[in-house]
Structure 1
């Protein structure tokens, strides 16, 4: 049994980090063996280093591609954080003057306002770039399974797992290795090569910044909307303004988290957690519990869809019992709205509401019932003050915000699965 437990931990770190499942039958679990015959591995003594800096020839080739590219772009995925490769990623994009986009746990690699930090122009960049580097994230539905990358671009993929490289879309260069080590090796290989091509990139960055501003201008009316029910863009904009340098942001939901992904910008690496590309709803409360236990010095701010919160929300009582304060917000539209949109798009309005309509649950009263802080918000002007009162309460909290059920995130409407 000890060997199998050791194997499970090794598998968690084999290739891309992930969960391992080990089932121990009851008769084995309850059995006894003499301690003289038991071999219990020492902590860490069953681990082997799997960190690889990639094939040196491939690293040199990528450095050459980036030095000579006119319009490069890079997407920094979750593995940049899980490999603790933040510093290497920042060094690379700044040294070579490359616009960077981030997803998943890679968000926060570059701080908001950094000249290489881009968020809203990703589709434009991927349609016009001549070299695209995808780091530590798969070609899944978020990128149209790779179809949203220009067919004329040279595409490079870096990943811990060789099975992910080139999956769903052909690539020009694949590198299997630790994101941080590979990016550091590429930056070193490009050092001193005609300033790394950096001086030629100003026009490209200006072009992307203009596309970024254009996208922001289109959303600005919603970000500042005084409508009631509250527009989700106004809610996530208020949350973004509320975050501090020490705020860990957790998103748990479908459509509401898709809205937040376009607006909320964590201030530092390791400060973003979400359900992942498969949308594993219900992770929010467990994530809050884990984050507050692991980083009690950090503020935790969590945004839930009402459907997502209902899956594990009773553990709010656990947060109260263990005195783990956090600021929770429920974007309440009484619907599983991402599912609703998909059904309307595929099957028509007559089947839009099948199996995805929820009750008008007052989650603020639920929080109060369990000993936490709870408030209801219907006026967008009240969001900011309610968030601040939740922070000052020193308790686990839920701000129940009634949002417009007929507003859908662009990311929801553009998802391949709903076409």
Structure 2
């Protein structure tokens, strides 16, 4: 998505000012749910030419997740517009998800008019304080003539490293009023060149390590560093673990990809270089090594901005700035030891052995269906450029194990915030952003309940996607742990074999229920061939829950 070069005068109502500024940042779609507080934004979107697409949804959370999904896929902030009060509060979880994932996003909210503020107006609420902890910035613009520059600032902030969401609300009277203003040229991008001394220190540690591991996270993709990451990994010859939207930075099957030997790689490492992802619960909070009484590994953190460098543990080194330049610089200066090549070969063998051991479960003929069989069949029909979306807990954990994207930027999940309900918004974003690619959303049956009504949105806007529901009739991430802790469980059961496929059909899509493992493959092929939103609702075995060592806390 290219940034439009427009500068100059803008006129008309406040909505025209806002849309002109958004167009300047390449925005071509506004995700929304209709509300009178924001009508001028719609008016500006549909006239004059070029028309900005209005994509209206059935719940504000879907609008925000769709805009966030556009940010994840295109690496430029998407735009969501919601009406005042409950429209804004319905958007909070989506904004928090973007903040934790580092996704560029701009949310514009309606607001009760200033002229009668404090008189108990409909949906009168001071909204920016709700977003202060989950945005890069949240504020109100009160003057019509200041709206264009405020929207421009919002997109500039959202798209700047470290990326994230920005919230702006506009009182109804300011949005409806007329004004003239000038949209100035944007400020030059800040210099993000890494510090040469920091690069040299990281390279020295890699040159000294016998058992190094490189972790590549979602910010590597969002920073446009995917080519640099692949080149650096191959030049260094070290095992690589990818997480989140970093999946696909090394294509599935690559000899250095160690996701299937993650435990061995992290357990035996003496140095772990983590690039573009926080040292959070997904990475054991940065505590690596220690296997068989060995000391903990040294840890290096590479981040896209200084404020993202971990502060909760002692790092052997850190560096921040443009992640592509960082990775290229480190790879150019490091001189890995021969022992590191032997280590990489050992981890590669472990990963290959683990993948080979998957064959039986991926082809399981068990009745009820083992969840892994679904991924065995799905891998056969996915194109290399397919966008795979995970929205669920237990069922999507299996996807994380058995699906390895072939290309970067083609995996989407809720990220470390773990908010269910992202799937429909992400599916909308993927279909718009990757119109020629397969798009498949993997739902747990619990997650499906958060957003399935937005199949109506897919149907109305002619956005064909494939939905696969792993339907085991339970909250899988909760039922087994509660039984382990207490010997019983409550509030962890759903109705078995609920006909989510019939919900999709009732909303104008297609779908079917699958109870025979031999019918999974044919059903998936029918779904991809259908040309409509299509649900493959697969009844899976509730006794086959994903094995995990901790509860992630």
Partner residue of 1:132?
A: 272
Tell me the residue number matched to 2:285. Answer: 145
- Does structure 1 residue 154 correspond to structure 2 residue 289? no
Tell whether the 8 Å contact from 2:476 to 2:492 is kept in structure 1 after alignment: no
Q: Does 1:39 align with 2:185?
A: no
Tell me which residue corresponds to 2:535. 398
The reply on whether 1:8 has 2:154 as its aligned counterpart is yes
CA distance in 2 between counterparts of 1:87 and 1:323 reads 34
Query: How has the CA–CA distance of structure 1 residues 317 and 117 changed in structure 2, closer, same or farther, with 3 Å as cutoff?
Result: same
1:373 aligns with 2:518: no
Any stretches of 5+ residues in structure 2 without a counterpart? 1-146
- How do 1:90-105 residues align onto structure 2 when only pairs under 5 Å count? 90-105=230-245
Unmatched runs of 5 consecutive residues or more in structure 1: 191-195
User: Which residue of 182, 189, 207 corresponds with 1:67?
Assistant: 207
**What secondary structure, in the 3-state scheme, does the structure 2 residue paired with 1:169 have?**
coil
Correspondence for 1:263: 402
Aligned-partner SS, 2:387: strand
Cα distance in 2, alignment partners of residues 139 and 304 from structure 1:
27
| TM-score (normalizing by structure 2) | 0.69
What does the per-residue CA deviation read over 1:103-147, in whole Å, with 9 as the maximum and x for residues that have no partner?
111111111222112212112111211221001111111122223
Conserved? CA contact 1:243–1:266, under 8 Å: no
1:414 and 2:550 aligned = yes
Matched, 1:164 2:308: yes
Q: 5 Å matches for 1:381-392?
A: 381-392=518-529
What is the rounded CA distance, in whole Å, between the counterparts of 2:517 and 2:164 in structure 1? 39
Does the CA-based 8 Å contact 2:220-2:276 persist in structure 1? yes
Q: Distance in 1 between matches of 2:219 and 2:446?
A: 29
Q: 1:48 to 1:283 in 2, by over 3 A?
A: farther
1:97-246 equivalences under 5 Å are 97-150=237-290, 151-190=295-334, 196-197=335-336, 199-216=338-355, 219-246=358-385
Aligned positions, number = 403
Cα distance change of structure 1 residues 330 and 153 upon mapping to structure 2, 3 Å threshold: same
In the alignment, the residues of structure 2 paired with residue 226 and residue 48 of structure 1 have an alpha-carbon distance, to the nearest angstrom, of: 59
> Alignment partner for residue 172 of structure 2, among 26, 31, 34?
26
The DSSP-based 3-state class of the residue aligned with 1:168 is: coil
Change (3 A) 1:2 1:65: same
Name the larger-Rg structure.
Answer: 2
Does the Cα contact within 8 Å between 1:142 and 1:415 map onto a contact in 2? no
1:284 to 397, 405, 423: 423
> 1:158, 1:179 within 8 Å by CA — same for their partners in 2?
yes
Aligned to 2:449: 310
Q: Using a 3 Å threshold, how does the CA distance of structure 1 residues 14 and 343 change in structure 2: closer, same or farther? A: farther
Contact 1:327 1:397 in 2 (8 A): yes
Local SS of the residue matching 1:39: strand
Matched residue SS, 2:483? helix
CA root-mean-square deviation: 2.1
Structure-2 change in CA distance of 1:48 and 1:382 (3 Å): farther
Deviations 1:71-116 (A, max 9, x none): 1110100011101111111111111111111111111111122211
- TM-score relative to the length of structure 1: 0.90
CA contact (8 A) 1:73 1:132 kept: yes
Find the residue that maps to 2:443 and give its secondary structure: strand
Deviations 1:302-352 (A, max 9, x none): 111111122111111221222221221011112221133343344x132x2
1:193 maps to which residue? none
Local SS of the residue matching 2:258? coil
Secondary structure, counterpart of 1:54 in structure 2: coil
Distance 1:79 1:51, change over 3 A: farther
Deviation at 1:51, TM superposition (A): 5.6
CA deviation digits over 1:331-388, x for unaligned, max 9? 1112221133343344x132x2325535642111122212212011111111111111
